[in-house]
Chains A and B, each alone.
Chain A
Amino acid sequence: MLMKELESIIRLFKDRFEQQAGRVYEAETLDEAASKLSNILLEQNVRRVAIAGMDEQVRERIRESLTSVGMEIVEPRGGNAHETINSAEAGVTLASFAVADIGAIAEITNDDADRLVSSLPRIHACLLQRQNIIDTFENSAQLIRDALSSSRSCVVSFIGGPSRTGDIELKLVLGVHGPHQVHVIIFG
């Protein structure tokens, strides 16, 4: 894809995700993204963080960056995993891809603990590789199909910003059951 095209897709993603009350940051490298991440979480006074399953290298880099500023990483295991994740103030995930025209990130998960990392804590922070942003929802069909057919159980989750409701007097409130804030850091 032409550099220019990718840039305009990223622009569109950023505009729409932010219109939907999400926040988007850009970083050149994984290192820069990891330190941005720790800054964002520090600013929100986060002390305990849950990290979803992801590429080992990225996970290590995130872990280093967060522990270096004194944050605790919780490890969800066994029957109590959901309680452990619930005790974290932030959840960190790596997006599988993102879709510009609907302003949403997509997570492909094979364990529901990973879904809870982006569902339960008050803050969700998500890393997203620049090359994984696609233009339209329609064009994500094959990615969805591939994900679903690659394992016996799988969930593809599109997330278009913080949890929201307008159920009382149509007044918009963010963070009903899910995160109040969603931060996306684009890198690479």
Chain B
Amino acid sequence: MGLETYEPLIKQLKNMLGQKERSAALYAAMKRGRDGRARTMQEFADFNEYRHGIRKIKERNIDNLDKLLERFMEEARKRGAHVYLARDGPDAISYIMNVVKQKQARLIIKSKSLTSEEIEFNEPFEKAGYEVYETDLGEWIMQVAREKPFHLVFPAVHKTTPEVAELFSRAYQKAIEGDLSAIMKFVRETLRRIFLSADVGVSGANVAIAENGAIVLETNEGNGRLVTSIPKIHIVLMGMEKIVERVEDAIPLIRGHAVSATGQRTTTYVSIIAGRPPLAGDDGREMHVVILDNGRSRMREDSWFREALYCIRCGACMNICAPYSVSGGHVFGYIYPGPIGIPWTANVHGLDKAKFAHLCISCGLCKEICPAEIDIPMMIARVKELDVEKHGQLKVNRILESYESYAPILSSIAPLWNWLMRRVLIRALMEKLTGIDRSRPLPEFKRNTFMKWYRKNAARLRAGGSGKKAVLFVDFFANYIEPQLAITLVEALARAGVEVVVPEQKTSGYPYILYGDLKEAEKVARYNVEKLYPYVKDGYDIISIEPTATYSLRESYPKLLNNSEESLAVASKTYEALEYLWALVQQGKIVVEKTLSGRAGFHIPCHERGLSHGKYAIALLREAGLEVEIRETGMCCGMAGTFGLKKGTLGIELSLAIGEQLFKQFKDNNLDFIVTESSVCKIQLEQGTGLQVFHPLKLLGDALKAA
């Protein structure tokens, strides 16, 4: 079955979960990146518009890549640069090897280049007897330590100051004090001599501009300027997806990169280099541009992975990735770390190296933070699917991806089932059979589902009166577990004169995406869109209670159904329950009575971040008299649908490790209880904080009155 292929991943993860200091350092780095980004975003009129602009630029340029590649090569050659299009890593390395051999070079200096990491550049040159120096401090530390980057922007973030001092002391047989200024003095002095005597400088390119054959290099330390100016030979190693048409295309990418990575307006240095200038009149100098394919052409033709080519390598996605925050780049990465590292690894290094895809919990936040709006979660789901096809699916995943389809049976035997689930021995047995952890309290099924109630009340709910018509997309939780939520909602809608219907439908199917079964996900999406579309055409709005269900209708279904007209129509008419209620309050059709008091902490579920960040729920609760404060880390709570129900490291252990930071936020404050719109975050937060957790509709209950 190939299930043993999970074992190294689980072992590495277990080891990392034990290293609290490392994950604390990583967490701080990620938070700094996110906070910086949030601060600088304020300087833009609308950063989300700006992101959209970046996406459009990348879409257009990747569409025209063939032409732009020709144009770039022609323009660079006009400037005297040698340009080589390399098929793959070995091809690129052999070209560069020839250049340095011919020039009788000895010392090669590099500025940070992820593309050079991708093809594992250093090793063959070191083996061939060349001295190779990484000159970006973080990269140099990793080179001396013989490790791969832990984080894209801060490669050595897991090393403490004394560790770095010791590392350099040992490698250079020199006593370096364990403080920052001693280290920096050593670094500047040592690398300065290296810079001044290097023969070859190797840089990457953050962007390449076709219209003038120029490359753009963004650095903070200033090493990039030295690498590209002092040596006689400057070699640019760049991925072919970096090419854009015009200067106007490059500028938003340069900005978007820095803002998203660290919150800088741009990196300290942005160098736009065209051709090879002389040095103090000496013009016997060369520029070589090696453009790497290494799977990129294939990715471009693949409708799932084409978007990966829009990546500008800012690293923002790993700054918001909860499982990455506790596992780090050595576990959650191969050479390319983090969320976007999954599709890149699968495509350039092979599926077998991308096993860490299964650490992804499909929270979707990487898509929300990505400056090019890349649908990273869907690409990851595709990588999981390919891996499952090749190596088989874990039994627990197979059970959980389709658990919602057992609901009708379990609900029909609800009293018995719920009684069984309260028996410790039964849970132990179930854990053994299914892999669902015995310590997780499972929500109890109701025998009287919402649908049963609805059938009795359907005629009354059809009455309407205001001219507004809505379909309720009820989903799993509000039908089988807490029907009262859906009843509260439709009664409030009925009071406001909204006609409500609940046609045949399946639950959202999002778990199929989480566990990488896109074919099943697509089937569910097709079914639901087919059922809902006729209503949309007929002027109905669609209302959904569970954030994940709303997110599925709005974001996932169109992607799964190739942006079909029907799926887009359904998406455009889908509203969150509380958003819809708030609109009715604004229109004077519903009045909110002050029935609540006390102080609540509000948790924003991940999929809610792709919607409205809970603002409508908060507005309604405040209107009803509740004090509400958002408490957040900005990341997933760790439950991630059913992921946190699973026994073991790749389940509840990872889930609770992620949750720790968030639990503190709620426990440190004097809160009466927690409010959240997600049924599964509720399980995690109740277990992690000991506080009670309510759905806003449950609290609002009868506060929603007819006007």
Contact = CB atoms under 8 A, between A and B. Distances in A.
Interface of A: 16, 20, 76-79, 81-83, 86, 101-104, 109-113, 115-116, 119-120, 137-138, 140-142, 144-145, 148-149, 152-171, 173, 175-179
Contact of A168 (B180, B195, B246): B180
Interface stretch (B223-231, B440-448, B451-459): B223-231
Nearest to A140: B251
A82 B230 contact: yes
Interface in B215-240: 220-223, 225-226, 229-230
Contacts of A113: 279-280
A177 B266 contact: no
Contact of A111 (B141, B223, B280): B280
A165 B221 contact: yes
B154 A153 contact: no
Nearest to B213: A148
B144 to A, nearest CB: 13
A82 B196 contact: yes
B281 A119 contact: no
Contacts of B277: 109-112, 153-155
B269 A157 contact: yes
Given A111-B280, A154-B274, A160-B265, A170 B32 contact: yes
A79 B164 CA distance: 36
A177 B226 contact: yes
B247 A86 contact: no
A78 B271 contact: no
Contact of B266 (A119, A152, A156, A158): A158
Given A153-B274, A155-B277, A162 B268 contact: yes
Interface of B: 25, 28-29, 32, 43, 78-80, 135-138, 141, 154-157, 159-161, 164, 180, 183-184, 187-188, 191-192, 195-196, 211-212, 214, 220-223, 225-226, 229-230, 246-248, 251-252, 254-255, 262, 264-282
Contacts of A112: 229-230, 277-280
Given A83-B196, A163-B222, A177-B221, 8 more contacts: A112-B278, A145-B246, A149-B212, A152-B80, A157-B225, A160-B265, A167-B137, A168-B161
18 contacts: A16-B265, A82-B196, A103-B265, A116-B279, A138-B252, A144-B272, A148-B212, A153-B277, A157-B270, A163-B221, A164-B220, A167-B138, A167-B157, A168-B164, A169-B180, A177-B135, A177-B221, A178-B222
A116 B266 CA distance: 21
Given A82-B230, A163-B220, A169 B280 contact: no
B183 A178 contact: no
A37 B69 CA distance: 46
A155 B278 CA distance: 11
A115 B222 CA distance: 11
B281 A78 contact: yes
A86 B270 contact: no
B59 to A, nearest CB: 19
Nearest to B159: A168
Contacts of B137: 165, 167-168, 176
A168 B183 CA distance: 10
B269 A155 contact: no
A138 B251 contact: yes
A138 B248 CA distance: 7
Q: Which 10 A-B pairs have the closest CB atoms?
A: A178-B222, A153-B275, A81-B280, A167-B138, A163-B222, A112-B229, A158-B270, A176-B221, A113-B280, A167-B137
A167 B141 contact: yes
A93 B214 CA distance: 23
Contact of B154 (A82, A142, A149, A167): A167
B157 A178 contact: no
B341 to A, nearest CB: 20
| Best-buried of B141, B157, B246 by chain A (most CB within 10 Å) | B157
A180 to B, nearest CB: 10
B268 A161 contact: yes
Contacts of A20: 264-265, 268
| Best-buried of A20, A78, A119, A169 by chain B (most CB within 10 Å) | A169
A140 B225 CA distance: 21
A16 to B, nearest CB: 7
A113 to B, nearest CB: 4
A153 B79 contact: yes
Contacts of A77: 280-281
A156 B269 CA distance: 10
Given A115-B225, A119-B225, A177-B223, A78 B282 contact: yes
A177 B274 contact: no
Nearest to B278: A111
A178 B269 contact: yes
A5 to B, nearest CB: 18
A135 B232 CA distance: 37
B486 to A, nearest CB: 47
A169 B275 contact: no
B441 to A, nearest CB: 39
Nearest to A153: B275
Nearest to B225: A119
Contacts of A78: 280-282
A79 B141 contact: no
A153 B180 contact: no
Contacts of A102: 255, 265-266
Contacts of A104: 265-266, 270
A163 B266 CA distance: 13
A86 B194 CA distance: 13
A112 B267 CA distance: 20
B274 A141 contact: no
| Best-buried of B29, B136, B251 by chain A (most CB within 10 Å) | B251
Contact of A169 (B136, B160, B264): B160
Given A152-B275, A157-B225, A167 B136 contact: yes
Nearest to A79: B282
Contacts of A149: 212
Given A103-B265, A167-B137, A76 B280 contact: yes
Contacts of B254: 137
B485 to A, nearest CB: 43
Contacts of A171: 161, 180
A169 B161 contact: yes
Contacts of B187: 176
